Structure 1
């Protein structure tokens, strides 16, 4: 599967945050997106550590986008949340790095490598702004 629930939730949360100029708390984002609050809190902390959102503590605290939605690429979100190099299939980008030591006999690896490259190109074209309704 290309996108896990984590990536889908991260996208939903970022889209929700794009609607506000001020920090929005986890409870509000959870209510508006129907994302479970504990799961959302972990995702937002991850996004904060990696520069997608700013986190503010205190009574008026919460999260706010750290960048313009036009600068947040879908590929970057995916790589951050999924924390892996492959997008679709758990297959090495090189026959020499095959995790099962079968690279020299694998007939599928060239296909998956090409598919990975093409999907990365597509994901790199889209930004968060492409998913925000006006």
Structure 2
């Protein structure tokens, strides 16, 4: 499972947004966190599409949290930021070279499925409020 800077920036942004008493814009966040604005804007839009943030328009606009920090799971943040669910092992990228000929039939598939469920359960139970 590889989490990229997108997840890191999402978590840092959410922490800054939760501390703000008013909506905070992408440019201000980018400057405060030393993050490229265009990259951060994409992450913030993904968080808004996922229902984690709300984007307010206008002169006093910016981003605010849509939910309480104890209602936002780290897994949903990762999915929004990365554009996909975190995977312990992504067999699909090796489908053409799988020695067993098909995905999910190798001897370690049951272990990988169990491991993935445990990671998913952990990340679903870990809330933003637990880490900030």
TM-score higher than 0.5 here? yes
What are the within-5 Å matches in structure 2 for residues 106-117 of structure 1? 106-117=106-117
- Per-residue CA distance 1:40-74 (angstroms, 9 max, x = gap): 00111111122111101222111111111110011
The aligned residue for residue 95 of structure 1 is: none
Change (3 A) 1:58 1:104: closer
- The offset of 1:86, in angstroms, is 4.8
**Greater share of residues in helix:** 2
TM-score (norm 1): 0.83
Q: 1:119 to 1:113 in 2, by over 3 A?
A: same
TM-score (norm 2): 0.84
- Number of residue pairs matched by the alignment: 127
Kindly provide the CA deviation profile for residues 13-50 of structure 1, in whole angstroms up to 9, marking residues without a partner as x.
Answer: 11111101310011221122222111000111111122
1:38 matched residue in structure 2: 38
- Indicate the SS of the match to 1:44: helix
Task: State the match for 2:14 in structure 1.
Answer: 14
Q: Distance in 2 between matches of 1:20 and 1:54?
A: 14
Say whether the 8 Å CA contact 2:78–2:85 is kept in structure 1.
Answer: no
Report the counterpart of residue 88 of structure 2 in structure 1.
88
RMSD: 2.0
In the aligned structure 2, how far is the partner of 1:65 from the partner of 1:110?
38
1:1-134 correspondence runs (5 A): 1-91=1-91, 99-100=95-96, 101-103=101-103, 105-132=105-132
**Cα distance in 2, alignment partners of residues 77 and 130 from structure 1:** 13
Question: What are structure 2's unaligned runs of at least 5 residues?
Answer: none
CA drift at 1:99:
4.5
Unaligned runs of 5+ in 1: 93-97
